[in-house]
Structure 1
Amino acid sequence: MAALFTSHCANNEDTPFTSHSLPINALKIFPCQSKFFNCQSLLPIRKTTQMSSNSMESYGQQVVLITGCTQGGIGHALAREFANNNCLVVATARSMISMRDLDQDKRFYLQELDVLSDENVQHVVSDVVERYGRVDILVNNAGIQCVGPLAEVPLSAVQNTFNTNVYAYNVGTMRLVQAVVPHMASRKKGKIVNVGSVTVMAAVPWAGVYTATKAALHSLTDTLRLELRPLGIGVINVVPGAIKSNIGNSAVASYNQMPEWKLYRPFEEAIRERAHLSQGLKATPTEEFAKKTVAAVLKENPPAWFSIGQFSTVMSIMYHLPLSVKDFILRRKFNC
């Protein structure tokens, strides 16, 4: 039998021969030594696709990368709410210590991220893609407040706010966008969420620097929405009103560092009130903001613009008012 089998392999060069011609056991017992065929190679080849345990773990779950997840801020609240909605959350901040309460929760993957560093951004995004296979949602959230009359705010404070909110935040936003978009585009799927501010709807007195920085982000977001649509990527501008968070506390702390006003000394009380405005008794709780925002973002067809929080409805109306009417209302409200 062995001779017959060997002869078949050696002499029937024009005869199609597959592993189905003989039982698998026969192929194992009588290996072919022909220079024309290697009968062992005719056995069915099983192709396997290896997936990391983390990639398999993320199957069916959305992977969300969020910046600015410092405890007490809205980024932190968003991270928790995405996790509550069965998402795998990559929570980032400049310091791991600022996210220490998330450290023992397996729903979160914590990373230190400095958006000013190209190398750091590329490393974090590559690490996330290697770990989970993708980034489904990117949430850009950061910013600092600056309160004071434009004619007297120290230029150092203006520069610091623009450096953080525009040059650092917007350029940092673009660093992250350019890092994740190729991965999203390859799948024709993904969402980018930028967190702006309702103050852009109607610029108010005593917060001109902060409003200008957020206006820059809104313009960038609108352009991204148009440019990324052909790639299958959605862009959402989240526009918070007054939300209870540590940014309000930071505004007060920053205001306390301001010099004594000269021209605007009679308006001291009104300016200080503006610093406390977002943390009033009726300010929207962070958890409520996060819950409604995440629900909107996770929709199959999310809105391009989503505004929530105290004053969000009022400011939307103000946006459409004639300038003379708008100015009259704001002068009365802010005593100027």
Structure 2
Amino acid sequence: MGGGLASPARRDEVVLITGCSDEGIGAALAFEFWDMGFTVVATSRSLNTMTSFAGHQRIETVALDLLSKNSIEEAVKFVMATYGRIDILINNAAMPCTAPLAEVPTEILDKVYRTNFLGPVMLIQSVVPHMVKKGKGKIVNVGSIVSFAAGPFTGPYSASKAALQCSTDALRLELKPFNIDVMLLVPGAVHTGIGPKGAEVVRSYSSELQIFKPYEAYLLERTKLAHHPKSTPAPLFAKKAAAAILARPSPMCYTYGYLSRIYRILYYCPYWIRNWWFTSKMPKWMV
């Protein structure tokens, strides 16, 4: 990953990727697309979270806060002024949230929804005019397998990703006349650095729990699900994802990673089967 400076051939296309924090899917995608010859602009809310690019002078790093329309517009303006084009936009940034819907503070719900859905939409609205003017482009929205089958304590995150998934389907049809492809990329359980961030979210509201206070340790444990021994390494996911994104024609929805096939099957199953499956994975004292 990140062979970088010795890449044999460069391409003209520019890839803009959000959520490129260290050890994440976005960073892995940035290295993969660079190795394939693309010009890559990697973004995150803070430049301090993208230290993995420090020794890679050819990948551009830009601060982009999806909660700020001004930050989004400034980032896109910078890319267009510097490179004159955005060929592929990958909306990867997301805020994790493991929480009981009955007690999670609404301000956290609002932040999750704005980060995982409204932010990507604002970025799309900022980039699409440039793609329309150019006459082509590709938008890739990164969803989640939990939007196919939502289990316990995934409600806030699942709902935000389901909103992004439904919007992707609508956007695909709306932008087809402008030769802009829209794709949903759905990771399974991929080994990233999101676990500590998820735990931080749980700790931010745990003092407000009453009904679910006895579940606090379990909620913290659930934030580590991406670190399962069988979870897919982020570089491997990035390699598979990049190949799917560049395929002609590319799939409208591409899923890959540990548990992704099971969740796709659960999506088509009766609710009682879904409930049985999720219940079987919960501690006996909870059921």
Shorter-chain TM-score: what band?
Answer: 0.7 to 0.9
Change (3 A) 1:211 1:179: same
Matches of 2:22 and 2:214 in 1, distance apart?
A: 37
* Structure 1 portions without partners, runs of 5+: 1-57
Change (3 A) 1:208 1:233: same
Change (3 A) 1:186 1:331: same
Change (3 A) 1:202 1:182: same
Out of 241, 244, 248, the position equivalent to 2:188 is 241
Deviations 1:156-207 (A, max 9, x none): xx422432x3224422212221221112112321100111110011110122
Do residues 297 (structure 1) and 245 (structure 2) align? yes
* Structure 2 portions without partners, runs of 5+: 1-8
Out of 73, 79, 96, the position equivalent to 1:128 is 79
Confirm or deny: 8 A CA contact 1:69 1:79 kept in the other structure: yes
Do residues 199 (structure 1) and 150 (structure 2) align? no
Matches of 1:306 and 1:216 in 2, distance apart?
A: 17
Q: Shift of residue 326 of structure 1?
A: 1.6
Work out the percentage of aligned pairs sharing the same amino acid: 40
Deviations 1:30-69 (A, max 9, x none): xxxxxxxxxxxxxxxxxxxxxxxxxxxx984321011111
Matches of 2:54 and 2:218 in 1, distance apart?
A: 41
Matches of 2:99 and 2:123 in 1, distance apart?
A: 31
Matches of 1:161 and 1:208 in 2, distance apart?
A: 10
Change (3 A) 1:323 1:144: same
Larger Rg: 1
SS of residue in 2 equivalent to 1:147? coil
Q: Could you tell me which residue of structure 2 aligns to residue 83 of structure 1? A: 34
Out of 90, 98, 106, the position equivalent to 1:147 is 98
Do residues 210 (structure 1) and 161 (structure 2) align? no
Deviations 1:16-41 (A, max 9, x none): xxxxxxxxxxxxxxxxxxxxxxxxxx
Deviations 1:255-286 (A, max 9, x none): 34413855446655654442222211111111
Higher relative contact order (CA 8 A, sep 6+): 2
Q: Shift of residue 231 of structure 1?
A: 0.8
Deviations 1:257-316 (A, max 9, x none): 413855446655654442222211111111111111111112232111011111100000
Q: Could you tell me which residue of structure 2 aligns to residue 288 of structure 1? A: 236
Matches within 5 A, 1:124-273: 124-153=75-104, 155=105, 158-163=106-111, 165-257=112-204, 258-259=206-207, 262-264=210-212, 267=215, 270-273=218-221
Q: Shift of residue 124 of structure 1?
A: 2.3
Matches of 1:149 and 1:232 in 2, distance apart?
A: 42
- What is the TM-score with the length of structure 2 in the denominator? 0.87
Q: Could you tell me which residue of structure 2 aligns to residue 274 of structure 1? A: 222
Confirm or deny: 8 A CA contact 2:11 2:38 kept in the other structure: no
Q: What is the total number of aligned residue pairs between the two structures?
A: 275
Comparing 124-133 and 136-145, the one that deviates more: 124-133
Change (3 A) 1:329 1:120: closer
Change (3 A) 1:317 1:121: same
Q: Could you tell me which residue of structure 1 aligns to residue 272 of structure 2? A: 324
SS of residue in 1 equivalent to 2:66? coil
- What is the TM-score with the length of structure 1 in the denominator? 0.75
CA RMSD of aligned residues (A): 2.2
Do residues 111 (structure 1) and 58 (structure 2) align? no
